[in-house]
Amino acid sequence: MTKRADYISWDEYFMGVALLSGKRSKDPSTQVGACIVNQQNKIVGVGYNGLPIGISDDEFPWDKEGDFLNTKYPYVCHAELNAILNNIGINLEGCKIYTALFPCNECSKAIIQSGIKEVVYLSDKHAHKESAIASKKMLQTAGIALRKITPRISEVVLSLDEKDV
Ligand SMILES: Nc1nc(=O)n([C@H]2C[C@H](O)[C@@H](COP(=O)(O)O)O2)cc1CO
Ligand SMILES: [Zn+2]
């Protein structure tokens, strides 16, 4: 027998883990996931956008508009920051972070400080926003590699039906 040819690439695998993590998000508008990988291609942290530990998903707002304090923005912890904070307890120097959406300026500060050296992303749909411009400026100045991936495959389908296992 010859080996399978349609296995997923490392980039597709790690971006897939990031996207799967995003499925845990309670944000009704935008679900983002992130996955941190070390130099041996081992996953060392994952995260998704959500409220900090102990803050109720049901009591805090998920609104995008209105009085700032009644929106999600002051409270939600972004996927990238969660992946950094939730890492398995190692130094992230030289790691890569896979994220569905290009990181904002606040997460970029944490990415730089943690020693992560590459940001791999799928979408940069907020590129025109000031936070994304500031973010890129910081990451580039700090010498972090930025890589947008265009996967060969458009989706990964997972069946949880036992007959498919
Ligand atoms: N890179 C990112 N990682 C993230 O986790 N997020 C999160 C924060 C919010 O929960 C949501 C964006 O809010 P909105 O686009 O629906 O209003 O996605 C957003 C970005 C975009 O910079
Ligand atoms: Zn962010």
Residue 51 CB partners (closer than 8 Å, separation 6+): 26, 57, 60, 75, 76, 77
Sign of CA dihedral 37, 148, 28, 106: positive
Q: What is the pLDDT, as a whole number, of residue 143? A: 98
Say which ligand is closest to the CA of 125: 1
Protein residue with its CA nearest to atom 17 in ligand 1: 64
Q: What is the pLDDT, as a whole number, of residue 33? A: 98
Find out whether the beta carbon of 71 lies less than 6 Å from any atom of ligand 1: no
Give the position of tokens 């495959």.
Answer: 153
How much is the pTM?
A: 0.97
Distance between CA atoms of 110 and 105, rounded to whole angstroms? Answer: 9
Ordered per-residue pLDDT tens for the chain, 165 residues: 999 999 999 999 999 999 999 999 999 999 999 999 999 999 999 999 999 999 999 999 999 999 999 999 999 999 999 999 999 999 999 999 999 999 999 999 999 999 999 999 999 999 999 999 999 999 999 999 999 999 899 999 999 999 999
- What domains appear along the chain, each with residue ranges and CATH number? 10-164 (3.40.140.10)
Q: Strand locations in the chain, DSSP E?
A: 33-37, 43-48, 96-101, 118-123, 145-148
How many Cβ atoms sit within 10 Å of the Cβ of residue 120? 20
Catalytic residue among 12, 80, 106, 130: 80
**ipTM of the complex in this document:** 0.99
Q: What is the pLDDT, as a whole number, of residue 160? A: 97
Known catalytic membership, residue 65: no
- Binding-site residues for Zn(2+) sit at 78, 104, 107
Q: Separation of 77 CA from ligand 2 center, angstroms?
A: 7
Q: Separation of 110 CA from ligand 2 center, angstroms?
A: 9
Q: Separation of 31 CA from ligand 1 center, angstroms?
A: 7
